Amino acid sequence: MKNILVVGLGAVGTVFATFLKESKHNVYGLVKDYHLEFVKDNTLHVEGIWGNHKAKLDLITSGIEDLKDIDFDLIIVAVKSFDTEETIKKILPLIKPKTKILLTQNGYGNYETASKYIDKSKILLGRVIFGSKLIEPFHAYITVNADDVRIGQPENLLEDKEVLNVVCTIKHAGIPASFSKDVYKVLWDKILYNCALNPLGALLECSYGMLKENKETKEIMDLIIDEIFQVAKLNNIRLNFDNPEDYKKLFYEKLIPPTKDHFPSMYYDLKSGKRTEIDALNGAIVKLGENVGYLPRVNFTITNLIKFREKKLIKS
């Protein structure tokens, strides 16, 4: 793939853009206006468990006018989930017949939103489960990697070789990646993981491991997971697990231990006075439940607590 655009150069977008540029692709960055003041010679930095990396992008801009004449093979969308719709509408003029869109955001609803504006056969989902935080604008630090970036077309509307082309591009750049025929199920694995851990870690200001080791927080996480399984069942959403107990066993024994020292991005969002992605996580579970006449009360409570903290911190 020759030309790649990364939309949103936050903690995740910076990693993708840096590694892909190091791999000799033409890489461009699209950011919000107020981020441009922090751009230094179009250069990005990544540190952490994958080593030290530095790359100068071909261009970082906030407007699409500078990008309209470029035939992008791949556009990676790495904005926060609440910016997905605005972002998709903005990049529509940049999407050419052969362009593929890779959505890398957290939570539920990004594919559904994007497919309102873009042919579904052009959209790929990427389940990202490496932990990254910004040290400063355009400078990311990778803290942990729990699994490959799993990439696929949710409804299998693309030939495998087209998806594998994207997978190989990212993998050859040095980011662990693999193809998934059931990427929607894989994404729901992460939704379960994030809904159980992120808001509690943010509210209580503690790591994933601390949540697991505490009886009270473990009981709350169990209830969050139980409700998500019920919501999925009522909405005919197929998960990778037959029942919540099977998932909990994996969650506590295999998933949390490698990330036990990790703090959720939601924690850093609140500390920085930023809006969180709660609406695409526990908030989305609440909406999906309400749509079928079921109120998932623990997820509802967690969502409202995060929203209260958001309002309080953003105002201050």
Coil vs helix vs strand at 68: coil
Question: What distance in Å separates the CA atoms of residue 205 and residue 35, rounded to the nearest whole number?
Answer: 27
| Number of helices and strands in the chain (H, E) | 11, 12
Catalytic residue among 190, 215, 248, 274: 190
Q: Class of the 185-315 domain?
A: mainly alpha
Alpha carbon 89 to its chain centroid, in Å, reads 19
For CATH 3.40.50.720, the residue range(s) in the chain are: 3-181
Residue with tokens 């998500």: 228
Residue with tokens 């139980």: 226
Written as tens digits, the pLDDT of the chain (316 aa) is 899 999 999 999 999 999 999 999 999 999 998 887 778 889 999 999 999 999 999 999 999 999 999 999 999 999 999 999 999 999 999 999 999 999 999 899 999 999 999 999 999 999 998 989 899 999 999 988 878 999 999 999 999 999 999 999 999 999 999 999 999 999 999 999 999 999 999 999 999 999 999 999 999 999 999 999 999 999 999 999 999 999 999 999 999 998 899 899 899 999 989 899 999 999 999 999 999 999 999 999 999 999 999 998 876 5
89 assigned to active site: no
Residue ranges, comma separated, of all CATH 1.10.1040.10 domains in the chain are 185-315
Backbone angles phi, psi at 135, to 5 degrees: -75, -40
* CATH for the stretch 3-181: 3.40.50.720
pLDDT of residue 315: 67
Longest dimension (CA), the chain: 57
Q: How far is the C-alpha of 173 from the C-alpha of 176, rounded, in Å?
A: 9
Q: How far is Cα 168 from Cα 308, in angstroms, rounded to an integer?
A: 42
Q: Would the pTM count as exceeding 0.85? A: yes
Query: Exposed/middle/buried for 236, CB within 10 Å: 0-12, 13-18, 19+?
Result: exposed
Q: Do the strands 149-152 and 123-127 form a parallel or antiparallel pair, or are they unpaired?
A: antiparallel
